[in-house]
A = this chain, B = another copy of it.
Amino acid sequence: MRPTIKDVAKAANVSIATVSLVIHNNERISTKTRKKVLRAIKELNYHPSRSARGLVSHQTGNIGFIITEERFLRTEPFYTRVFLGAEFEAREKDYYVLLATIDSSFKEGDPLPRFILERNFDGIIIAGKVPTTFIDSLLKYKRPIVLIDFIPPDGGYPNVLINNIKGGMLATEHLINAGHKNIAFIGGEISHPSIMERLRGYNLALEKANIRNGDGLIVTNDEYLSRQNGYKSAGRLFNNRKDVTAIFASNNATAVGVMQYIKDNGYKIPDDVSLVGFDDVEADLLIDPPLTTIRVPKVEMGTEAVRLLLDILNNKSNSTKSTVVQVELIIRESTRAIKK
């Protein structure tokens, strides 16, 4: 049988209350007693029962982690890394993470994950864009919510954001510094605030360098970011502008599609066209040539989200604080200085 607080109390020859107080670092217990109790805890390999604890304290020790099925299954392990960061941090802080996916077309009345219905969570992390209706149906549970890489239209939630503007600037400036003038932006899912910001960074960098980019260099649509979409968009781009020498693709999958199109049409990377992606996933290294990209600290985003959430749960923070994680330019072989 697993040891209970009673066993510890008996072993240390104190009351169960004392054991509980030691566990919670209450300063009312003398160092001597504290040591005695801690020794007993270690000897018996005692771990408090979550059930008993939850029953009296009305806290579950669970953090929900919600992501759309689509995003979770994405070929690039972007959000799996975010999850990993969250799980590590939660483990550290004595919380469990309950991962559940929802449909990206979630409608009001659709079944919610069990732990939500059963109110078995202290707070919830939502990773990536989800339907507003989903967030709405969470409201009545009155638990803190932290969003990752997503700002819903009505805003007002604490979130962990990527410095997308900076990323867009870094990518574009890298191309400008290499002497490029006709720099294109290719981005799907343009309604996503993050993609819009990357475009904004792109524009800011061009402005700063006094480059007036002519028509047809910005190709966007609102389809899901994917290889196919990148391939298609590259086609549209090259139909209009044969003079393009550099492309900034708003995420990695798009970049791979763009690369495929360029290869299929007899151009060479980076000889004819330089290409920069966004995200930095392993696949970037395996493709030919390895992709220059903007690195996003994925694991850190997960840990930050948990920290933010726990700060709110412990009243250390009001519920509108947000964190912005920084990005970094990773230069590989898909970009080079323009031929004179």
- Chain B residue nearest in CB terms to A140: B45
Among A255-310, those with CB < 8 Å from B are 260, 281-283, 286, 288
B50 and A286 within 8 A (CB): no
Mark contacts of A17-54 with chain B using CB atoms, 8 A cut-off: 1 yes-contact digit, 0 otherwise.
00000000000000000000000000000011111111
Q: How far is the CB of A268 from chain B (nearest CB, A)?
A: 15
- Closest chain B residue to A76, Cβ basis: B75
Counting CB contacts under 8 A, is A11 at the interface? Answer: no
Interface pair A286/B101, CB less than 8 Å apart = no
Q: Is the CB of A75 within 8 A of B282?
A: yes
Question: Which residue on chain B has the smallest CB distance to residue A88?
Answer: B101
A215 on the B face (CB < 8 A): no
Q: Mark A58-78, 1 if CB is under 8 A from B, else 0.
A: 001000000001001111110
CB distance from A288 to the nearest CB of B (A): 8
**Is A206 part of the contact surface with B, judged by Cβ < 8 Å?**
no
Residues of A within 8 A of B (CB): 2, 47-55, 60, 69, 72-77, 80-81, 83-84, 87, 91, 94, 96-101, 113-115, 117-120, 227-228, 260, 281-283, 286, 288
Q: Which residues of B contact A281 (CB under 8 A)?
A: 75
Q: How far is the CA of A304 from the CA of B60 in the complex (A)?
A: 29
A98–B100 touching, CB < 8 Å: no
A80 near B75 with CB under 8 A, answer no
- Nearest Cβ distance between residue A284 and chain B, in whole angstroms? 11
Q: Which residue of B lies closest to A56 (CB)?
A: B51
Q: Which of A84, A113, A228 gathers most chain B CB within 10 Å?
A: A84
